[in-house]
Structures are given as C-alpha cells and as structure tokens.
Amino acid sequence: MRTPPRLRGLGAAVLVTGLLAAACGGDPEPTSGGPPTTAAEQTRAPEDAVAPEAASGPDASAVTPAEAPIDTGGATADELAEPETLPAPPVASPAATDGPGESATETGDAGEPAAGFYEDPRGGVFVEFQRGFDRGHPFATLGAFCLPHEPPPEPRRATDSGIGADSITLVHMRSLVEELVGLGLGVDVGDPTDMFETLTRIVNERCGGVRGRLIDLRLVEVTLLGTGGSDIDTLRNAACIEATENHDGVIAMNTTTFAGTAQLCITEEHDSVLIGHDPQTREYLERGGGRLLTTSTTLEEILMSLARYVVDTGALAGRRVGVVAPNTPGEAEAVEASLVQVLREAGADVAAFDVLDCAGTSICAGGMAESVQRMADEGVDVLFPLLNPVSLPGYITEMVAQGFTPGDVQFYNSDFNSQGNEVVGDLILSFGGPAAGELYDGATLLVTTDQGRFRLDSYQPDAFGEMCMREYRENSPLGVDYDPRDPDETNKYGMLGLVCSVYRVALRGIYDAGPNPSRADVVAALANLGPVDLPFMLPASLAPGKRAMVDSLLPVTFRHPCPTEGAGTRNDICLVPSDYSELRLKSR
C-alpha cells in the first residue's frame, strides 16, 4: 500500500535539504554573480577525490554510445545512422608528412597489419580495431608512453602563440574535486596533477619533447562549488582566461570535469583546443570548430541509443513508460528530442514526461514529489530517471516514501548525466539507504566503458592501461602502484588511464602537425588521428567532423547487494557487465 498523501514528498525534502546545506552552506548555488575573477594557479592537494561524473576507472568513465550490434558498425561521425564497418587506418594529413619520423614503422603487405600490430586477446571486433593503429608512432606505442625520436633537420621556429622554437604550452585544467570529499560526493582517484607532471617529464627527458619542442605544462585550477558570490560557470570562464590569455595554452586537457560555457570560451573565443571527457551537446562540438574534443559522447547520441536499445529488446511491449529530466540548460530539450520522441515514434506508450526544476543549482528538487505521484497515477512500470548524480538519489528515495516497492518499476539509464558508473550508483544508497538500492536493483544501463568487468575471474587488464601504470609507477615520485582488480584502487587506475589517454591524443596531434606547426595545423592533425587509445581499449576514433571519440556501447545491470561477495562498493552495489557479444558499435 502506498504512503498516505500527507507523507508524500517527505523523503525527498529531507534528502534535498541535507544536500543543499552540505553543498552550499545552507544556500542554493547562485545562478549568477559578480564579474569574472581570475582563477589563480593554486597549491595542489597531494591526492584528489573526484566528482562522480569525473570518475573514470574500471568502475566509472564516460565514452560514446553506439547503434549497431557487434558484427556491424564502425565510427567516423557523431551522428547515428545505418551500420557500417570499423574505420580504416587513418590517412596521414599533409602536415604529418612534413618532416622525418611521420611514420616510425612500415605497413605490411596489402591486407597485413603494420609492424608492431597488437593482437587484442579479446579477438573479433577488438582485433579489427587494432589494425588501424601505427604502433611504431612515437606517441602510439604500447611499450612506453612515448619513444625517443630525432628532431627534424630544418630549424625550429616560433609559429604561433604558445608555440615557440623550443617549447609548446599545454595546460592541465584541474577542477578542485577534493572539495566534494566532505560531502560524500567524491571518490579518491589518486593525484591527477602528479600524473600529468610525471608524463610530461617522460616526454621531455626521455623522448626529447615532440619533434624537439619541450612540453611547457601549466596548471590552472578552479572550484567545483562556486565561491565569493560567483557561480561555477563564471569561475570556469575565469579559468579559461587564465589558460588562454595568461598562459597562451595551445591545448587544454581536463580529466576532472570542466563543463559549461567555459568550454566555448577556450575553443570558440580563444582558438585553443580543449580535450576532456564530459559528454557534449552537438551544438558545442560544432561551435568548437574541431577544437573541442571529448573521450565521451554527445548527449543526443547516448539518449537516442538508449531509446533504440530498449525498443530493440522488446522491453516496452505492453508497458507504461515514464521519463524524468532536469531543466538544466539543454538537457530537457535533448531528452525530449532524442529519447521521448524516438520512443513515441517507435510506438512506445510514454505516459509521463516530467521536467524537474533545478533552480540554477545541481539539486533538481522542484516538482519531485508531484512527479513521483504522477508516475504512480499513470501506472508507469518502466522509468527513465535521467537526473544528475545528486538528484537521482532524491527521486528514488521519494519513490520509496510514496510506496513503490522492488519490482514495481523497471529502470533504464545511461551515461547521460554520468549515471553509468559505480561511484554515482553508490550515492543512491549513501543518501537513500538500503530501501532505495533495493528499489533500483536490476536497473539496466547503457554505458560506454567496460563497467564492473574487473570482478570477473577472466578479467585481464588491457595493454594500454598496464603500460600507463608501469610508466607512472617507475617515474612518479609518489611510487604508487594501483591494482585494477582492487575495488579501492580501480578508480585510481582508471584516472591514470584517462590522463594517459587524453595526453597521448594531444601529443599525437602535435607530432602529426609537422615540425613547425601553427595552431590550425594541430587542429587539422587531431581531426585525422583515426583510432585512439582510451581506457579499456574499446573502439574509439577521431575523424573530420567526429569529435566524440569512443564508439562502443554495452549494457550493464545495477545490483544491490553486489552478487560478488566482498567486491562491492562501500554500500555494496556493483554494475554487472554484459558479455562482449552484446557490444554495439556506433555507425557512420
């Protein structure tokens, strides 16, 4: 029997009040503030704890969804269409052939892989993906982070802002994720700053920089919570100014979340590249003009993939569907166009589509109790709760308070709003307790990383991740060694893999741009990289017009309690991976 009406909304009210007080000192995050302030370089903490949306280990990360079953598909554009084959080996850009060392290995005979070819032990589509790499490239080997290479014979010269004769300036954009530790919204991912600095030393001291130019790495840090009357977007834009105008950064790199209009400040307004991991809208990627790149996906793409996946499985036949979205700018519109509309066009009975009010903060509580009541009144038994990490726990808790019990609703979710990882999943129990976890148990999520596979007896760390770990272990002053099979260390291992991935994409682009590149040459080279290495070595690529890298999609199942005894999260949840036979690939 459902809770009497007078008690409805109590669970969400208590939870949201607590979150608001914790996150904002009792006040909602302001939606506007004073003029932008300069984000100063800050003294870093020895270790970081990452926001849920930034966690990137075998338990958490974001990448790009797909449309075709495993025996079809490839990835060379951000739009979804009919299945095609995997991308062919990249065609070298004109800039990449300007000078020696543009290809450190020769290809084999026709149809044969290049020397140094890595035969992925997972076989099938993974082996085909590896055929696109030149593993002799100084910044594409799996034996080391980089290979020493001779500088070009022609004199180096300064060519552009941030590109001198002997150095090129890159910027590590670091969000102060440790601010979230006390709120219970973060997880320890090691020290990303030391990771970037260690890899920079390897490039400069072992490999002679990139074609003789040393990497001049700068650090710019920005709060995640908003301070001094300024909202987060204002502070991030101040960080953009520091990175671009103060430091002349050619490429900015982020692995700890850097969202909002500051991304366009870097790429559209200041002609710099930003390589990050946050999901993007197609609008932002287009406005970035090839300078905004993500290891993740587009919001529209992942929602459309989720809708088509659920329709394809026949899970909606005879079911009443509910969808909940936040009014965060651009998100409700993306949900309506790319999920709700696709479901309705496929004949699904979408009985309720609710948009919650976030009031300019990260806590989307406005209309929550009413939405849950509507789902009950409409007889919804399939729900897509597409809310952010700090709002979904409140919604599930409100469902419990209003009398929903396990089995009443089948949940579906995805990497949209960063729900596709265990760090975020754990928050459902952190703030909602066991009853919320029991209600959400069995939820199916489409994710773009290899979630939860480290718990399987057959799990073997991938070659790229092991190379990154070995290089970091042997060269970092911290002397750490993360075990990807350890539930407490897997997120640190994954963050290292993400840092390693983002940095290598940047370095490959700089190298392929030639001996004396302009900023435009670097952008053109990045667009033609073809296959790229990301955590888990799932298919990923960059191509002209394709700025969201990862091309794979896998279903996983949220379980509480975790069926692998002693291997769950702190609240004993886990995401159980599907077999690789269910891998779907994004098509052209």
CB 3 within 8 A of CB 401: yes
Which of 144, 120, 150, 122 lies closest to 132, judged by CA?
120
Round to whole Å and give the CA distance between 309 and 585. 12
* Torsion sign over Cα 560, 565, 569, 570: positive
Which of 357, 374, 453 lies closest to 59, judged by CA?
453
Question: What local confidence, expressed as pLDDT, does residue 113 receive?
Answer: 66
Question: What local confidence, expressed as pLDDT, does residue 225 receive?
Answer: 73
Round to whole Å and give the CA distance between 420 and 174. 22
Two domains, one topology: 5-27+300-447 and 48-60+143-296+461-539: yes
Average pLDDT for residues 469-485, to the nearest whole number?
97
CATH of 48-60+143-296+461-539, one of 3.30.2010.10, 3.40.50.2300, 3.30.420.110, 3.40.50.300: 3.40.50.2300
Question: What local confidence, expressed as pLDDT, does residue 170 receive?
Answer: 99
Instruction: Give the residue with greater pLDDT, 521 vs 586.
Output: 521
What residues form DSSP beta bridges with 163?
160, 168
Round to whole Å and give the CA distance between 341 and 45. 46
Write the DSSP string, 352-372.
Answer: EEEEEB-TTSS---BTHHHHH
Residue 86 pLDDT grade (very low, low, confident, very high; cuts 50, 70, 90): very low
Of the listed ranges 98-102, 323-327, 395-399, 548-552, the one predicted with least confidence: 98-102
Which of 533, 549, 556, 547 lies closest to 447, judged by CA?
556
Residue 50 has pLDDT above 70, yes or no: no
Q: How far apart are the first and last CA of the chain?
A: 49
Round to whole Å and give the CA distance between 265 and 244. 9
Element (H, E) at 294: strand 292-294
Residue 247 has pLDDT above 60, yes or no: yes
CB 280 within 8 A of CB 42: no
pLDDT digits (tens, 9 = 90+) for 9-48: 434 333 333 333 333 333 333 333 333 333 333 334 434 4
Instruction: Say whether 189 sits in a helix, a strand or coil.
Output: strand
pLDDT digits (tens, 9 = 90+) for 523-537: 999 999 999 999 999
Question: What local confidence, expressed as pLDDT, does residue 315 receive?
Answer: 96
Question: What local confidence, expressed as pLDDT, does residue 183 receive?
Answer: 72
Task: Tell me the backbone φ, ψ of residue 177, rounded to 5 degrees.
Answer: -65, -20
Whole-number average pLDDT of the chain: 83
Query: Domain limits of the chain?
Result: 5-27+300-447, 48-60+143-296+461-539
Instruction: Give the residue with greater pLDDT, 435 vs 98.
Output: 435
Average pLDDT for residues 432-440, to the nearest whole number?
96
Burial class (CB in 10 A: 0-12, 13-18, 19+), 548: buried
Residues 6+ apart with CB under 8 A from 109: none
Cis peptide before 561 (omega within 30 of 0): yes
Question: What local confidence, expressed as pLDDT, does residue 228 receive?
Answer: 66
Residue 165 pLDDT grade (very low, low, confident, very high; cuts 50, 70, 90): very high
CB 138 within 8 A of CB 147: yes
Residue 54 has pLDDT above 80, yes or no: no
Residues 6+ apart with CB under 8 A from 10: 401
Of the listed ranges 43-52, 338-347, 381-390, 421-430, the one predicted with least confidence: 43-52
Report the residue count for the chain: 588
Round to whole Å and give the CA distance between 568 and 452. 10
Question: What local confidence, expressed as pLDDT, does residue 321 receive?
Answer: 99
Average pLDDT for residues 99-122, to the nearest whole number?
60
The DSSP letter of residue 113 is P
CB 297 within 8 A of CB 415: yes
Round to whole Å and give the CA distance between 550 and 27. 38
Residue 180 has pLDDT above 60, yes or no: yes
- The CA-atom distances, in angstroms, between 378 and each of 48, 142, 466, 494 are 44, 54, 50, 42
CB 565 within 8 A of CB 437: no
Report CA 67 to chain centroid distance, whole Å.
19
pTM for the whole structure: 0.81
pLDDT digits (tens, 9 = 90+) for 124-141: 999 999 999 999 999 999
Around 49, how many Cα atoms within 13 Å sit in the side-chain half-sphere?
A: 13
What residues form DSSP beta bridges with 385?
324
Residue 585 has pLDDT above 90, yes or no: no
Average pLDDT for residues 98-120, to the nearest whole number?
56
Q: Hey, what CATH topology would domain 5-27+300-447 get? A: Rossmann fold (3.40.50)
Instruction: Give the residue with greater pLDDT, 69 vs 528.
Output: 528
Instruction: Give the residue with greater pLDDT, 20 vs 543.
Output: 543
Average pLDDT for residues 386-411, to the nearest whole number?
96
Residue 58 has pLDDT above 80, yes or no: no
Quote the tokens at residue 272. Answer: 């710099």
pLDDT digits (tens, 9 = 90+) for 313-354: 999 999 999 999 999 878 899 999 999 999 999 999 999 999
Task: Tell me the backbone φ, ψ of residue 538, rounded to 5 degrees.
Answer: -80, 155
pLDDT digits (tens, 9 = 90+) for 221-238: 998 776 666 788 889 999
Instruction: Give the residue with greater pLDDT, 388 vs 146.
Output: 146
* Helical H segments across 513-573, by residue range: 519-527
Element (H, E) at 284: helix 282-287
Instruction: Give the residue with greater pLDDT, 434 vs 260.
Output: 434
Q: CA angle 549-555-557, nearest 5°?
A: 135
Residue 72 has pLDDT above 60, yes or no: no
Round to whole Å and give the CA distance between 474 and 351. 57
Question: What local confidence, expressed as pLDDT, does residue 417 receive?
Answer: 85
Write the DSSP string, 458-516.
Answer: T----HHHHHHHHHHHHH-TT-----TTSTTTHHHHHHHHHHHHHHHHHHHHHHHT-SS
Helix, strand, coil fractions of the chain, as percent rounded to 5? 35, 15, 50
Which of 581, 587, 501, 585 lies closest to 122, judged by CA?
581
Residues 6+ apart with CB under 8 A from 58: 449, 450, 451, 452, 453, 454, 484, 490, 493, 494, 535, 536
Instruction: Give the residue with greater pLDDT, 38 vs 444.
Output: 444
Question: What local confidence, expressed as pLDDT, does residue 10 receive?
Answer: 37
Residue 76 has pLDDT above 60, yes or no: no
Report CA 9 to chain centroid distance, whole Å.
33
Round to whole Å and give the CA distance between 421 and 357. 24
